Chain A
């Protein structure tokens, strides 16, 4: 009881200042309430689409492009990277240890639990972060964050978790709430010269066309990452995509695995709780 009151106060404080316009007057909500409202918003907007379908991104709501996409997924363009990821994952470091030693259950079938708040490190940790930490504590050089080997390993780990519902622990402690709120703020705050928030495109206008692109709902966004994009011609991590979407509105993209993007991923992933992991995915 006491704790939830505290949570509300913190939420109220953090929402009031930074979110201009519509959101500054919004009632403070708890993460559970946010999750409920977030889903309900899309359920109302797209009646009849079951929760799990949202893991398919724009194809959940755009029947026109769905068939082409399903055909692509029959011979997925990420297959080679996935095999490479499996090999890398299973190849021991010079000291004989493997990636599996750094994760619960040997790293198999655990994607749904990321990101998580580490009480020990007092910060949110993403899957890619733990992959690289695993390398450094075992005397290996860290990998580059946005594509290449790290995306391949992350893809393999997601693949072993397919079908498991996203299960990010509800933020409850003040520090967890702080990280969560930072991510939430990033999602709703307008930014860049074009002055748009993530929510402007992926909530308010989900299903609408911006030029020829249909905007995907933010619900379920995270489940199929890393993703193979035709435009990239390779696999990329979620933070690579964040950078791209920041640039679209002429905002300076932040560094992959910066606290700001980790916080965004924390919020974004919690909002997708209950939707099955289906990564890696393929997109335009």
Chain B
């Protein structure tokens, strides 16, 4: 009985996920191609991906944590995009005990996703 309800809930979950994706791709088509910055923002805000809002305040982001500095005026703080990317790729290089997740080193985000997030964050 229990097991049955579990199976039901996973299948409905999958169904929702698929329709969710379907919706997303149709909006992409409707709006033309999504800019890299929009894609980066989605990854940054997604709880299963960047989840940067757990710790950082970011414009437009709901319920941000306050563990880390707000991500604002990024070009002034990181004139060099490569340095910003390096911080997102592996924050422990700059500070071994940081709570910030080493997104690249621990393969939470792919290289491409890190580039997209970097583009998004750099223009904040």
Interface residues of A (CB under 8 A from B): 20-23, 193-196, 200-201, 204-205, 208-212
Contacts and interface: CB of A to CB of B under 8 A. Distances in A.
Contacts of A200: 97, 99
Nearest to A215: B67
Interface string B94-106: 0011010110001
Nearest to B106: A193
A211 B92 contact: no
Contacts of B92: 21, 195
B53 interface: yes
B43 to A, nearest CB: 16
Dominant SS among interface residues on chain B: loop
16 contacts: A22-B96, A22-B97, A23-B97, A193-B106, A195-B106, A196-B99, A196-B101, A201-B99, A204-B97, A205-B67, A205-B99, A208-B66, A209-B65, A209-B66, A210-B54, A212-B65
A174 B82 CA distance: 49
A250 to B, nearest CB: 9
Contacts of B71: none
Interface of B: 53-55, 63-67, 92, 96-97, 99, 101-102, 106-108
B54 A193 contact: no
A195 B92 CA distance: 10
Which of B55, B67, B107 is most buried by chain A, counting CB atoms within 10 A of its CB? B67
A20 B66 contact: no
Top 10 nearest A-B pairs (CB, nearest first) are A21-B96, A22-B97, A200-B99, A209-B65, A208-B67, A210-B65, A21-B97, A209-B66, A211-B54, A194-B101
A98 to B, nearest CB: 34
Given A208-B66, A209-B65, 15 more contacts: A21-B97, A22-B97, A23-B97, A193-B107, A193-B108, A194-B101, A194-B106, A200-B97, A205-B99, A209-B66, A209-B67, A210-B67, A211-B53, A211-B63, A211-B64
A195 B96 contact: no
Contacts of B99: 196, 200-201, 204-205
B63 A212 contact: yes
B63 to A, nearest CB: 5
A205 B54 CA distance: 13
Contacts of B107: 193
B67 to A, nearest CB: 5
Which of A193, A209, A210 is most buried by chain B, counting CB atoms within 10 A of its CB? A210
Contacts of A194: 101, 106, 108
A194 B51 CA distance: 11
A15 B10 CA distance: 44
A20 B92 CA distance: 11
Contacts of A212: 63, 65
A193 B103 CA distance: 9
Contacts of B106: 193-195
Contacts of A210: 54-55, 65, 67
